[in-house]
Amino acid sequence: MNIARVRELIQDAALKGAKLVVLPEMWNCPYSDDFSKFSEDFIDEKASPSFTMLSEVALSQGITVVGGSIPERCGDKLYNTCCIFGSDGKLIAKHRKLHLFDVDIPGDLYFKESDSYMPGDETTIVDTDVGRIGIGTCHDMCFPELAMLYGSRGARLICYPSAFNMSTGEALWELLQRARAVDNQLFVATCSPARNSSGSYMFWGHSTLVGPFGEIIATAGSEESIVIAEIDYSMIHLRRQSLPLATQRRDDVYQFVDLKLNA
């Protein structure tokens, strides 16, 4: 059901002119602790309806697809995995979520993604028809090191398929995107599932595109929608010229120790 609907939405976005489409985290299943029921083994095409649909629609529409994330089954392990397809329908890369979302806010939200998933152990940067893109999945956005690494390797856009919630969404969602964009003077695009009224994990929504000065270029509300926006990469050059953070950086004085904030 979701798969057919998502295919339609991607086709619709392409018809409206999109050259790159980004989907939300875990779009083919509920965000609960029963991910394995919806998992796909990408090696077996017949057992991978979500994976196959993404590849087909990227090819038929001639667009790049950052395919949100789906539960990937690999042997007896599960990963929260984002597949990126080129306009030829071929898989360019897959990003296994690095930082799993384990949260315990007493009386509010408890969720332990690490009960279901293994973390990935590779960063993901891809060259596409629409430029060099760094990939992170949702909670990966909380870690500035990852975004900084992508920026230093020439990414001009970071895409974070996500599924923030009502507890952290209001305080952190927009702030994190704008911070990652400003820190690295590049574009950040996020995509979230629309707000759901059932289920214990309620989505925040508000898919957004942020520019290299932290400006919100386009954003959705909490309801289902397609956000179409243009990315003008020349803005990166302009911002970096006006405010040359890269040359002002003082790597000679920063020294990191193994900081355990919660020790």
Ligand X SMILES: NC(=O)CCC(=O)C(=O)O
Q: Which residues are catalytic?
A: 25, 97, 138
Considering the complex, state which of residue 138 and residue 179 has its C-beta at the smaller distance from ligand X: 138
Which residue's CB is nearer to ligand X, number 35 or number 164?
164
| Pairing assessment for the beta strands 131-135 and 157-161 based on DSSP bridges | parallel
From residue 209 to residue 238, the character string flagging contacts with ligand X as x (rule: CB under 6 A) and all else as - is ------------------------------
Nearest to 96 by CA among 133, 71, 126, 128: 71
Residue 164 lies near ligand X (rule: CB under 6 A): yes
101 scored as a contact of ligand X (CB under 6 A): yes
> Is 168 a residue that touches ligand X (CB under 6 A)?
yes
- 28 Cβ partners below 8 Å, 6+ apart? 2, 3, 6, 38, 50, 70, 71
Question: Which residue, 91 or 172, is less far from ligand X as judged by CB?
Answer: 172
Q: SS3 string of 225-260?
A: CCCCCCCCCHHHHHHHHHCCHHHHCCCCCCCCCCCC
Compute the least distance from the CB of residue 206 to ligand X, in Å. Answer: 12
**Rule CB under 6 A: is residue 177 a binding residue for ligand X?**
no
Q: Give the total of residues touching ligand X (CB under 6 A).
A: 10
Nearer to ligand X, 25 or 174 (CB): 25
Give every CB contact of residue 98 below 8 A, 6+ residues apart in sequence. 119, 120, 121, 123, 136, 137, 140, 143, 146
Residue 199: which region, alpha, beta or left (left: phi > 0; alpha: psi -120 to 50)?
left
Query: Exposed, middle or buried, 262 (CB in 10 Å: 0-12/13-18/19+)?
Result: exposed
> Considering the rule CB under 6 A, would residue 78 count as an interface residue with ligand X?
no
Considering the rule CB under 6 A, would residue 138 count as an interface residue with ligand X?
A: yes
Q: Any idea what the Cα angle at residue 191 is, between residues 26 and 239, rounded to 5°? A: 145
Least separation in angstroms between residue 252's CB and ligand X is 32
**91: phi then psi, degrees, rounded to nearest 5:** -70, 125
Closest separation in Å from C-beta 220 to ligand X: 17
End-to-end Cα spacing for the chain: 45
Nearest approach in angstroms of CB 160 to ligand X is 9
Q: Which of 172, 194, 216, 229 binds ligand X (CB under 6 A)?
A: 172
Among 18, 25, 73, 94, binds ligand X (CB under 6 A): 25
Residues that bind ligand X (CB under 6 A): 25, 101, 138-139, 142, 163-165, 168, 172
